[in-house]
Amino acid sequence: MNKTILVIDDNLTVCLMLKSWLVKKGFSVDTASHAEEAKEKVRESPYDMILSDIMMPDTDGFAFLKWVKKYDPDILVIMMTGFADIDSAVEAMKNGAVDYISKPIDPEKLFNKIDEAFLKLEISNRNNPAKNDYITPPDEDYKQLFRQLNNTAENNTHLLILGDRGTGKFSAVKYIYEKGINGSKPLVCLDANDIVSKKSNKSQIKEGELKLKEKFENAKGGLFYVREIDQLNNFLQDDLLKIITRQSRDEEFTQVILSSEKKPEDLQKILIPKLYNLIIEDCVILPSLKGRAQQIIFFATHFLRFANFTLNKEITEIDPVIQKQLVEYDWPGNIQELKNIIIKAALLTEESVIKADLIDDLFNYEKSKDESQKPIKGSIQSLRKEYYEKEKICQALELAKGNKTMAASILNIDRKTLYNKIKLYNVKV
């Protein structure tokens, strides 16, 4: 994946020199000459790393470093300085920098430090037991599901994923992508609602066809995921059928995964027969959460570990009263709703136990939120999509207290997609 780096130095020559070096190494690079300009860029773009001078005209680099780690702790920061002394290095590391390099900068030394920083992050994520991966609860339905997902990943075949809201369709796609043979190639996602409605005119249909083909080309050799295929009109269904059937294993093959919340019998009435008959042959149905006591507690424990890690908490227990409510609740939002409740519980808990007195805050909040979504969900086609998405993003950011990693997890999107939508909808963070 192409990494993005922001270089901050009040010396334009240094900025251009570093940018030239880094671009040749395959990085996407932006530059800034002072802290305020850099902050504006950080607000707009999800940088993977920042190279920042310690000496700035409008503030010192340590103050900027503290701001970055508060605004988006996932950004790696390497500090640069013209005077190499151990005190500056120690101060930088105390404030959250991953490394330190002195000027004049040796390019090979810089590249090594950048590679080491990204490698350490990758190892940390891989070894973190609370990492928010697709996990396997002790249940035969889930074991069978994972056998199917593993088979799809190993054989690089197409797949249709069906499941109710919040059952983990996108998580299953990410699992296949990470386990599959195309991990170095792109994962491109397309929401059918984003390209065209079923009542579109000819020009809108043409635009939708171009968008579908463009997205598929962007995924060349990797994985192309189309969400909510039941929203595609017949013209786009036909285009999708051609995309799937005209591929050859002799060329750069692109795996296609489709998903829908519809049941097979309902989907059959919506899709054109050739497309339905083709994709229903390789289909998995994700289990709903309601009534699965053992699985509910398993997922709750996992999400608590994830919340502890992300929010720097040390919560060890969930009160039995809360556990009982977790088991008895209907879970219309399934795993995603359970995750949101556990995250909110962790945010509201300052001690080591999620206490029973939170029960009204947690479940009344989720019930009222679900009830408020019912008219929205029923009439989503009549609303402007951006209003709906903006509301969901604001809710997630509020729930996560501005933590973008957590907000992205709540929304089940990646951090870069969240940044893009914050910028698109002008969401104030």
User: Residue 323 in 3-state DSSP?
Assistant: helix
Confirm if 228 and 191 have CB atoms less than 8 A apart.
yes
Percent helix, strand, coil in the chain, to 5, is 55, 15, 30
Tens of pLDDT, residue by residue over 192-219, are 887 866 566 778 778 888 999 999 999 9
Question: Tokens representing 153?
Answer: 């990943």
Tens of pLDDT, residue by residue over 242-291, are 999 988 877 789 999 999 999 999 999 999 999 999 999 999 999 999 99
Average pLDDT along the chain: 85
Q: Measure the N-to-C terminal CA separation of the chain; round to a whole number of Å.
A: 26
Confirm if 231 and 198 have CB atoms less than 8 A apart.
yes
Identify the residue whose tokens are 């995921």: 225
Whether pLDDT at 409 is above 90: no
pLDDT of residue 255: 94
Tens of pLDDT, residue by residue over 310-325, are 777 899 999 999 999 9
Peptide bond into 273 cis (omega under 30): no
Own/partner long-range contacts of 396-403 (Cβ < 8 Å, ≥24 apart): 397/427, 397/429, 399/340, 399/343, 399/344, 399/347, 400/343, 400/347, 401/347, 402/429, 403/73, 403/310, 403/311
Tens of pLDDT, residue by residue over 8-20, are 999 999 999 999 9
* Of 162, 161, 155, the residue nearest 173 (C-alpha): 161
Instruction: Mean pLDDT check: name the lowest of 105-109, 115-119, 199-203.
Output: 199-203
State mean pLDDT over 387-412.
78
pLDDT of residue 205: 79
- Dmax over Cα atoms in the chain, in whole Å? 71
CA gap 89, 99 in Å, rounded: 8
Question: Tokens representing 271?
Answer: 């899709």
| pTM of the complete model beyond 0.85 | no
Whether pLDDT at 368 is above 70: no
Question: Tokens representing 58?
Answer: 């409008």
pLDDT of residue 385: 55
CA gap 135, 152 in Å, rounded: 17
CA gap 317, 100 in Å, rounded: 39
pLDDT of residue 406: 75
> In 349-414, where does DSSP find H-type helix?
359, 365-378, 385-399, 404-411
State mean pLDDT over 60-72.
86
- For 206, phi then psi, to 5°, come to -60, -40
